[in-house]
Amino acid sequence: MAEMKVKLCGIELDNPIIPASGTFGYGYEFSEIYDINILGTFSFKGTTRDARFGNPTPRIAECTAGMINAVGLQNPGVERVISEEIPKMKKCFHKKVMANVSGFSVEDYAYTCQRLDGCDEIGWFEVNVSCPNVHGGGMSFGTSPEAAAEVTRAVKAVTTKPVFIKLSPNVTDIVAIAKACEEAGADGISLINTMLGMRIDLKTRKPVIANKMGGFSGSAIFPVAVRMVYQVAQAVNIPVIGMGGVSTAEDVIEMMLAGATAVEVGAANLIDPYACKNIIEQLPSVMKKYGIEKLSDIIGGVR
């Protein structure tokens, strides 16, 4: 029988499948169409210190083999997440959840993580220093090893749970940034976030989205994600969560061979809300096809 369990910083997951932040809300919407407890876990919507409406519309554009979004971290703010969203989530999801956190200053990150640290439902933090859709924060922290390390140290000083730092592919040397986060105390690395993209309307000759540029995601970025996961996994001694264009069980196997302990599924959830369910159901047959008995045995197994 196929063994799909993996361990993420000491916490066992039934399988490595994690819906990515921003594509799964706080889970309860998806629980209306299937039992989300079949998931390994999920990363809930990016949460900031204060409530955010996000960027002006239009803020989503389709493109070949992917999409561009510039939602801009729309969320109700950490206090309402604690008082309203997590209690609703708890009713339908009975495992530890991953809290995705973003900010516009080091103090923002630390405050939000400290407030969420007291929530028993949270198993890990995923600290987003890589969002390309906001001005004055997010990705600006993830493009410098020193800045990413500063955020890591600040968050680790106020939390008791494992901290994964989510990195941007929009950099020259992602390995240097990952290593700086590890040295600053990160328990793991998540990568990759979206790439920076743009579309232009030929009739109006204006950018399709109001923000002009946004995060490019979808199957088109998968080879870039696999390459970066491989590079980082080879360079650090902490677990890596791989993501970027994952849409099939075969993609999950490839990510894990590259070095990922767990795998997030993002844009595919917006195309098909059953994407993660389908991948989990298909994994045993794909494992059998490639002679894999335990998924944990193939992590970093590329030859």
User: Across all residues in the chain, what is the average pLDDT?
Assistant: 95
Cβ-based burial of 31 (10 A; exposed 0-12, middle 13-18, buried ≥19) = middle
287 φ, ψ (degrees, to nearest 5): -60, -45
Predicted confidence at residue 136, as pLDDT, reads 47
pLDDT band at 143 (very low <50, low <70, confident <90, very high): confident
Task: For residue 95, give every residue at least 6 positions away whose Cβ sits within 8 Å of its Cβ, in sequence order, or none.
Answer: 37, 39, 41, 123
Rg (CA), the chain: 18
Q: Which region, left, alpha or beta, applies to residue 156 given φ > 0 means left and ψ of -120 to 50 means alpha?
A: alpha
Predicted confidence at residue 1, as pLDDT, reads 78
pLDDT per residue as tens digits for the range 50-82? 999 989 999 999 999 999 999 988 999 999 999
Q: Degrees (nearest 5) of the Cα angle 243, 220, 189?
A: 20
Predicted confidence at residue 135, as pLDDT, reads 46
Query: Which among 246, 199, 188 has a CA at the least distance from the CA of 221?
Result: 246
**For residue 139, is pLDDT > 60?**
no
Structural domains for the chain: 6-298 (3.20.20.70)
Residue 128, token pair as written in the block? 């987003």
**Can you spell out the DSSP letters for 232-283?**
HHHH-SS-EEE-SS--SHHHHHHHHHHTEEEEEE-HHHHH-TTHHHHHHHHH
90 φ, ψ (degrees, to nearest 5): -60, -30
Would you name the residues annotated as active-site residues?
131
Go through 254-275 and write b for each residue having 16 or more CB atoms within 10 A of its CB, e for each that does not. Answer: bbbbbbbbbbbbbbbbbeebeb
pLDDT per residue as tens digits for the range 170-192? 999 999 999 999 999 999 999 99
